[in-house]
Structure 1
Amino acid sequence: MEGLKIIIIGAGIGGLTAGIALQQAGYQVQVYERVQELRPVGAGISLWSNGVKVLNCLGLGEAIANIGGRMNVMEYRTAQGELLNHIPLQPLIAQVGQRPYPVARRDLQEMLLTGYGGEIKLGHDCIGVEEDEGGVTAIFANGERDRGDLVVAADGIRSVLRPYVTGKPSALNYAGYVNWNGLVPVSPELAPADCWVIYVGQHQRASLMPVGGDRFYFFFDVPLPAGTPPEPEQYQEQLRGYFQGWAQPVQNLIERLDPQQVARPEIHDLSPLDSYVRGRVALLGDAAHTTCPDLGQGGCQAIEDAWVLTHYLKSTNLSVMDALERYNRERRERGNSIVRKARKRAEQIHGKDPEVTRQWYEQLGREAPQSVTNAIADVILGGPLH
Structure 2
Amino acid sequence: MKVIVIGAGIGGTSAAIALQRLGHDVVVYDQMRENKPVGAALSLWSNGVKVLNWLGLADEVAALGGLMDDMAYYDGKTGETLCRFSLEPVTTQTGQRPYPIARADLQALLMDRVGMDRIHLSMKLVGIDDDGSQVTATFADGSTDTADMLIGADGARSITRDYVTAARGLPTIERTYSGYTNFNGLVPANTDIGPLDQWTTYVADGKRCAVMPVAGDRFYFFVDVPQPAGVPYDKAEGAAPLREAFAGWAPGVQALLDSIDPAASLNRVEIWDIDPFDTWVHGRVAILGDAAHNTAPDIGQGACSALEDSFALGILFATNTLGVEDTLQRYQQVRAERAGDLVIRARKRAWETHAFDVAATQEWYDQLRTEDGTGVIRGIVGNIVDSPVNLGGGIRV
TM-score range, shorter chain: over 0.9
Asked if the contact 1:127/1:140 (under 8 Å) is kept, the reply is yes
CA RMSD of the aligned region, Å?
A: 1.1
Asked if the contact 2:151/2:287 (under 8 Å) is kept, the reply is yes
Deviates more, 1:139-148 or 1:308-317: 139-148
Residue 165 of structure 2 corresponds to which residue in structure 1?
166
The correspondence for 1:86, drawn from 75, 84, 87, is: 84
Deviates more, 1:226-235 or 1:5-14: 226-235
Asked if the contact 2:311/2:389 (under 8 Å) is kept, the reply is no
Asked if the contact 2:10/2:307 (under 8 Å) is kept, the reply is yes
Residue 155 of structure 1 corresponds to which residue in structure 2?
154
Q: Residue 334 of structure 2: SS of its match in structure 1?
A: helix
Residue 142 of structure 1 corresponds to which residue in structure 2?
141
Deviates more, 1:233-242 or 1:259-268: 233-242
> Any gaps of 5 or more consecutive residues in structure 2?
391-397
**Pairing 1:1-386 to 2, within 5 Å after superposition:** 4-79=1-76, 80-117=78-115, 118-167=117-166, 168-260=171-263, 261-386=265-390
Once the two structures are TM-superposed, the CA of residue 187 in structure 1 deviates from its matched residue by: 1.5
Once the two structures are TM-superposed, the CA of residue 73 in structure 1 deviates from its matched residue by: 0.4
Q: Residue 34 of structure 2: SS of its match in structure 1?
A: coil
Partner amino acid, structure 1, of 2:38: V
Partner amino acid, structure 1, of 2:247: Q
Question: Which runs of at least 4 in structure 1 moved beyond 4 Å after TM superposition?
Answer: none
Distance in 2 (CA, whole Å) between partners of 1:276 and 1:74 is 36
Between the two proteins, the alignment pairs up a number of residues equal to: 383
Q: Residue 161 of structure 1: SS of its match in structure 2?
A: helix
Distance in 2 (CA, whole Å) between partners of 1:330 and 1:367 is 35
Asked if the contact 2:26/2:118 (under 8 Å) is kept, the reply is no
CA deviations on 1:250-296 (whole Å, 9 max, x unpaired) are 00111110122200001110111231111111110000000000010
Once the two structures are TM-superposed, the CA of residue 143 in structure 1 deviates from its matched residue by: 1.2
Asked if the contact 2:353/2:364 (under 8 Å) is kept, the reply is yes
Once the two structures are TM-superposed, the CA of residue 96 in structure 1 deviates from its matched residue by: 0.2
Asked if the contact 2:35/2:108 (under 8 Å) is kept, the reply is no
Q: Residue 325 of structure 2: SS of its match in structure 1?
A: helix
Distance in 1 (CA, whole Å) between partners of 2:252 and 2:344 is 33
Asked if the contact 1:130/1:137 (under 8 Å) is kept, the reply is yes
Q: Identity, % of aligned pairs?
A: 47
Distance in 1 (CA, whole Å) between partners of 2:280 and 2:36 is 26
Distance in 1 (CA, whole Å) between partners of 2:114 and 2:385 is 27
Once the two structures are TM-superposed, the CA of residue 19 in structure 1 deviates from its matched residue by: 0.9
CA 1:240 to 1:316, structure 2 compared with 1: closer, same or farther past 3 Å? same
Once the two structures are TM-superposed, the CA of residue 86 in structure 1 deviates from its matched residue by: 1.0
Partner amino acid, structure 1, of 2:361: T
Asked if the contact 1:166/1:274 (under 8 Å) is kept, the reply is no
Asked if the contact 2:278/2:332 (under 8 Å) is kept, the reply is no
CA deviations on 1:322-367 (whole Å, 9 max, x unpaired) are 1101110111011100111101111111111111111111122223
Using the size of structure 2 for normalisation, the TM-score is: 0.94
Distance in 2 (CA, whole Å) between partners of 1:224 and 1:298 is 22
